[in-house]
Amino acid sequence: MLKLFFTVSSLLFYIAAGVSSEAAPILKKSAKQPVVITSETLTADNKNNIAIFEGEVVAKTSDITMFSDKMTVTYEKADNKISTIHAIGNVKVLNKDRTLFSDEAVFFDKEEKIVFSGNPKAIEGENIITGSQIIFFIKDERAVVERSRVILQNTKELK
């Protein structure tokens, strides 16, 4: 039991030390920002550097909240860094006045991007963007939407 406690504590240290956050800016580098991940279950595989969170998963920082049914986190022990975060099922990301929904989302730390797939939809105010895939490039603060459909609400009347 004590070994399990230290294993989970070590894993949570890696997660807290390495997760980058702020979405498109959904995830943006912030080394000092703690991340709290809650779920019904956590399976830690320290040999393979993987943590699997399942059941009502919520990952939260001071300005981002990500929800999903399952979240798989891969990390590098040597660097205390997250490599990828793979969220599956009912993915929802909240950031200020932006909300993004998809069936699946993958954050890639080295490439500084997040790929949303499976009916992705981004909503900001009354504006909506959908496509087959939405890729956010965090460092550049730009997005590429494949097979896009954009609904912009015209807030000013034409004269």
Note the pLDDT of residue 2. Answer: 31
Q: Can you say whether residue 4 is alpha, beta or left, with left for phi > 0 and alpha for psi between -120 and 50 degrees? A: alpha
What is the pLDDT at residue 53? 97
Q: Which two tokens stand for residue 60?
A: 């939260």
pLDDT range class, residue 93, cuts 50, 70, 90? confident
**pLDDT value of position 110:** 87
* pLDDT attached to residue 17: 37
The CATH homologous superfamily of the domain defined by 2-151: Lipopolysaccharide (LPS) transport protein A like domain (2.60.450.10)
Express each pLDDT in 110-155 by its tens digit: 888 889 999 999 998 889 999 999 998 877 878 899 999 999 887 6
Tokens 């798989």 correspond to 72
Query: Is residue 115 within 8 Å of 102, Cβ to Cβ?
Result: no
Element (H, E) at 68: strand 65-76
Task: Give the Cα separation of 38 and 58 in Å (integer).
Answer: 5
Asked whether the beta carbons of 143 and 121 are under 8 A apart, the reply is: no
Is 90 exceeded by the pLDDT of residue 45? yes
